[in-house]
Amino acid sequence: MMTPAQLEADQQAYRAMKPSFLGRGIERLTNPLGSAIASAIPKSLIENVLKGIDKAVDMAPLKQPDHDPADLGASQRAAKAIARTARTLNASSGAAAGLAGAITASADIPATIALALRHIRDAGRAYGFDGAGERERLFRLQILEIAALDDHAEKISRLDALDADIAADGSLEPIATQGIEPLVDQVVERVSRAIALASVRRRMGMVVPIFGSAVGGIVNAQFQRDVGRAARYAFQARRLRALD
């Protein structure tokens, strides 16, 4: 059984982790073309996807949990199993989207965002958090933003902000109802920018037919891995706070 000390060590390892070599390599390779195309994609398109998709928290789970959330080790194993399922599904959709090049590459972005938000919701449930309510929705969007960031200093800043939102009992610090929607708008705007400037650039190899299939599968699997790591950090932080 995993101890709180082991879980805390896992948290610190995530905070120290830099963007992956694969992610940085693909971004350097595709940056000039990717930046131009990303700037041509209206953020409103991604914002609408984010706002619409994450309200559907009652979707079937990616993997049905069958453990006691009080068991920290079992919760982490369940979250990792959810991440593996998300990576497999998203790699398959990315490979299919890349087959026809630019014709289908951009269509994969909404599907990837939808799967990522579902992935985060299910990871939360693995740790015993049902994800209901607007406050939890904002927390999920914060996790998605962290997963989409490529700058390490910015990632640490967002992690600090996320940690500050966690109350002493592992719940989330309350926000007045009328204050939640503006915060959601702010996070959605930042997530949209991060996805437009990072994920889209990485996908530029998908515009080449056939070759794009391999790139699409790799990039999507990597993104869901990043989502899984960010989600585990966030929900483990809540469990650790509750144990203090």
* Domain-wise residue ranges, the chain: 58-242
For residue 159, CA distances in Å to 15, 147, 153, 155 come to 8, 10, 10, 6
Reduced to 3 states (helix: H, G, I; strand: E, B; else coil), residue 6 is helix
Q: Which residues pair with 189 in a beta bridge?
A: none
What integer pLDDT is reported at residue 15 of this predicted model? 95
Per-residue pLDDT of the chain (244 residues; tens, 9 = 90+): 678 888 899 999 999 997 664 444 444 434 444 444 445 455 566 666 666 665 555 677 777 778 888 898 999 999 999 999 998 888 766 544 544 444 455 566 777 788 888 899 999 999 999 888 888 988 998 998 888 887 889 899 999 999 999 999 999 999 866 677 777 777 777 776 666 545 544 544 444 444 444 455 677 788 889 999 999 999 999 999 988 7
Q: What is the rounded (10 degree) CA torsion for 18, 202, 199, 114?
A: -110
From the list 84, 86, 77, the residue with the least C-alpha distance to 6 is 77
From the list 149, 182, 161, the residue with the least C-alpha distance to 234 is 161
What integer pLDDT is reported at residue 30 of this predicted model? 41
Q: What is the rounded (10 degree) CA torsion for 211, 213, 219, 224?
A: -170
Return the ∠ at Cα 145 (arms to 139 and 150), rounded to 5°.
150
What integer pLDDT is reported at residue 162 of this predicted model? 95
pTM: 0.79
CB 95 within 8 A of CB 210: no
Question: Under 8 Å CB-to-CB from 126, ≥6 apart: which residues?
Answer: 65, 67, 69, 75, 76, 78, 79, 82, 235
What integer pLDDT is reported at residue 209 of this predicted model? 46
What integer pLDDT is reported at residue 182 of this predicted model? 76
Ramachandran area for residue 133 (φ above 0: left; ψ -120 to 50: alpha; else beta): left
What is the residue whose two structure tokens read 């049902």?
130
